[in-house]
Amino acid sequence: MHDTPAIQHQHDQVRALRWSEEGLYILDQRLLPEAIQYHLCTQASQVAEAIRTMQVRGAPAIGIAAAYGVVLAARQCWQDHGNQWKQFIKTEIECLAHSRPTAVNLFWALNRMAELIEVLEEDPVARLLKEAKAIHLEDIAANRKMGALGAQTIGTVQGVLTHCNTGSLATGGYGTALGVIRSLKQQGNFTQDEIQVYATETRPWLQGARLTLWELEQDRIPATLIADSAAAFLMQQGRIQWVIVGADRIAANGDVANKIGTYSLAVSARQHGLGFMVVAPTSTIDRNLPQGGLIPIEEREDKELLPEYYRRSDSLAKAWNPVFDITPAELITALVTERGVIPKPDPASLKKLLQDV
């Protein structure tokens, strides 16, 4: 399996996505940490299915996978229909767009590919592949920049808490919130050598327990797992100074949609006078959405949550399984993007940040 030469592993070992001539290899995150298995996708519909079933997840990684999915669609449409390829690719893009609703990076990447398709004529595959690889590389570069900016904003710290998985597995590489933690570690910004990175379990899908701990271990970064319900007590004990999270969509007023439980962490951080940092590339900002209440929140099947015992037709027990929540902008101490840090995000500061984008 070949990797794009420029997409090297200089600072982190793990890659969720690898392009090769055969197609897109996706690391199946449902199987981690027990098994490391890449599945080859040769069709856009397979990429859509991999996103829907969370073989690949995390807002930026979903966007990158979808961009490569468009390349696969173009390859098929060009092969089957020649010069008529554009008439057929729209349905494939629609299929990718319906894979998951909340992370705006998916629609951002598809729009970028669709705008390029508008101006392409003859054999489109090479040009679209170049664009997908650019999206992938730009994401890693943005993460490295945000890592440095976030670490600079935090300075010296004893302990931090992160939620869900926002690392190499959730992005093109390096990570958003986890990228800031990598940068803090590289710069020796921790006040002691003991374990100071705390990761929430992130129920019900266990992104923290299964994915964050695993990818940090690949890079020899020690981390301590806590139950989601232990977070407020951790704060009360004075063990952390910052909560650092990623985002799936940020509204124009700075409200943030992120993994369910993020809002509770922000409320608790405010109660304990701690910093609450959101780290996300500008591709996660939805400038057309005035406020967080308008962000579509995905609800997944209750079987992800409900114990087997209750999954009988005569059972009265049900589950409600929203997988994201909205953190109001007023609870955010710093929003870190690749274009700079906004201390207290609001409509004016976000508008200024997005000027010329």
Give the footprint of ligand MRU on this chain (CB under 6 A).
Answer: 57-60, 103, 164, 166, 170-171, 176, 207, 246-248, 258-259, 323
Taking the complex as a whole, how short is the minimal distance between the CB of residue 124 and ligand MRU, in angstroms? 29
- As measured in angstroms, the least distance from the Cβ of 58 to ligand MRU is 4
Nearest distance, CB of residue 170 and ligand MRU, angstroms: 4
| Phi, psi (degrees; rounded to nearest 5) at 306 | -80, 125
Cα 175–Cα 178–Cα 181 angle in degrees, nearest 5: 130
Report the 10 Å Cβ neighbour count for 60. Answer: 33
126 burial type by CB count under 10 A (0-12 exposed, 13-18 middle, 19+ buried): exposed
Check: CB of residue 297 under 8 Å from CB of residue 308: no
- What's the closest the beta carbon of residue 205 comes to ligand MRU, in angstroms? 6
Q: Is 124:75 a contact under the CB 8 Å cutoff? A: no
Q: Tell me how far apart the alpha carbons of residues 322 and 259 are, in angstroms, rounded to a whole number.
A: 9
Helix (H, G, I), strand (E, B) or coil at 19: strand
> Which strand ranges, in their side-by-side order, compose the sheet holding 23-27?
17-20, 23-27, 38-41
Q: Pick the catalytic residue from 12, 139, 248, 325.
A: 248
Integer Rg of the chain from CA: 20
In the complex, the smallest distance separating the C-beta of residue 86 from ligand MRU, rounded to whole angstroms, is 31
Residue corresponding to tokens 């705008």: 115
Closest separation in Å from C-beta 212 to ligand MRU: 10
Active site (annotated) includes residue 325: no
Rounded CA separation 32/209 (Å): 10
Tell me 38's DSSP state.
E
Give the nearer residue to ligand MRU in terms of CB position, either 58 or 345. 58
Nearer to ligand MRU, 185 or 210 (CB): 210
Alpha-carbon distance 57 to 94, whole Å? 19
Beta carbon nearer to ligand MRU, 59 or 77: 59
9 or 127: whose CB is closer to ligand MRU?
9
Cis peptide before 204, with omega less than 30 degrees from 0?
Answer: yes
Would you please indicate which residues are annotated as catalytic (active-site) residues? 248
